[in-house]
Structure 1
Amino acid sequence: MERGRTFVLRLETGEVLHEVLESFCRKNGIQNAYVSVVGGIGEGSRMTVGPEMPYEKGIVPIVFKLDAPHELTASGTIFPDEDGSPMVHIHGSAGREGRAVTGCLRTGVIAWLVLEVVLIELIGEGAVRKKDKRTGIKILEL
């Protein structure tokens, strides 16, 4: 893949990170991208912080809900799913008062005050997120 356009986005309080990114990609014809995120996320934001154990019968996510605004740093990718829609996969760490939580942000991270994103388009074909029969999760295939 080659580097394409670079975009800088600013999310406002209340906007949901993965929803904004996927919508932006659809509107701008972006199928593949790398993203870097920094800023504040709000109370009620949810992060997936691991699978419940044991997971032989399937992946059951553990969802952690933030009880106050946190600082965030994160990075991830955007690739199309089987229907051709851009799908975000992003992990990060959120901290407050010396404590941190790390996980997947796709569960519903809400911008607080300001959340900045640098999105770098990747040009090329072949990468797609397909539903894995064993786990039920859409996994990147190259």
Structure 2
Amino acid sequence: MEYSVGQTGRVIAARLFEGEDLYESIEQIATKEQVRCAAVLITGGFRKADVVVGPKQEEPKIEPDFRTFTGPGEAFGVGTIYCDDTGPKLHLHAAMGRGGQNLVGCPRGGAKTFLILEVTIVEIVGIEAGRKLDPATGWNLLRVG
């Protein structure tokens, strides 16, 4: 385990509009506001999203298993922002649904807003943390300290 203790910095409230991309929008805010570490909350709706629901396979390399969420539907989620070598990167997991169809996972691959998506970014200051390439997985994983 690795950990570091910091404090709450700024709190940013944002509203995404119809069709806006979840990752693109939040990472754009983080870049503009120079947010390096943060917790993220979302509430609202998704028009569509390609969602990682777990590994399709683990060996020899982890391969994500994607499912498509076709909305419009409701969504809420929690995530983090930490920087890699190129800037702030969002990692978020969400639950989304429409009627009796529900899906939980990591919405990637063009997660688009339906009507409104409320975003709260809670900046964390005073810690050293970032995403670094992990040779074993090939993914940029969080490193603290």
Q: What is the TM-score when the length of structure 2 is the normalising length?
A: 0.91
What is the deviation of 1:17?
A: 0.6
Q: Which runs of 5+ in 1 are unaligned?
A: none
What is the match of residue 106 of structure 2?
104
Contact 1:80 1:87 in 2 (8 A): yes
Contact 2:69 2:103 in 1 (8 A): no
Q: CA RMSD in A?
A: 1.2
What is the match of residue 64 of structure 1?
67
Residue 41 (structure 2) aligned to one of 29, 36, 42:
36
Deviations 1:61-102 (A, max 9, x none): 111112221200100000111x15111110010011122101
What is the match of residue 20 of structure 2?
15
Q: Which runs of 5+ in 2 are unaligned?
A: 1-5
What is the deviation of 1:59?
A: 1.2
List 4+ stretches of structure 1 deviating above 4 A.
none
What is the match of residue 141 of structure 2?
139
What is the deviation of 1:19?
A: 0.9
Question: What secondary structure, in the 3-state scheme, does the structure 1 residue paired with 2:28 have?
Answer: helix
What is the deviation of 1:126?
A: 1.5
Residue 89 (structure 2) aligned to one of 87, 90, 113:
87
1:52 aligns with 2:39: no
Aligned partners of 2:117 and 2:61: how far apart in 1?
Answer: 34
Aligned residues: 139
What is the match of residue 77 of structure 1?
80
Contact 1:13 1:113 in 2 (8 A): yes
Q: Which amino acid aligns with 1:46?
A: D
